[in-house]
Amino acid sequence: MNRLLQGDVGAGKAPALAATAFALLVIEGGFQAVLMAPTDILARRNTSKRSPKHYGLSA
């Protein structure tokens, strides 16, 4: 699966990608992980686009 992450300079692309990748590694190891967002809008966007079902994981 190939994805392109596009955004303005300083928009937080690298931390978002790193946090998601790290959370997936933690979950695959049998532990729990949480991703937090500073606003309700961002939290809703993250839950719709970063659901565990998208990665073949059960929640």
**Beta-carbon-side half-sphere exposure of residue 40 (alpha carbons within 13 Å):** 0
Convert the pLDDT of each residue in 2-54 to its tens digit.
666 677 777 777 777 788 888 888 888 999 888 887 888 888 877 776 666 66
CA distance 59 to 28: 12
Contact 53, 59 (CB under 8 A): yes
Q: 47-52: long-range contacts at Cβ-Cβ below 8 A with a sequence spacing of 24 or more?
A: 50/20, 52/27
- Domain limits, the chain: 15-49
pLDDT of 1 strictly over 60: no
pLDDT value, residue 5:
66
pLDDT value, residue 20:
81
- The overall pTM is greater than 0.85: no
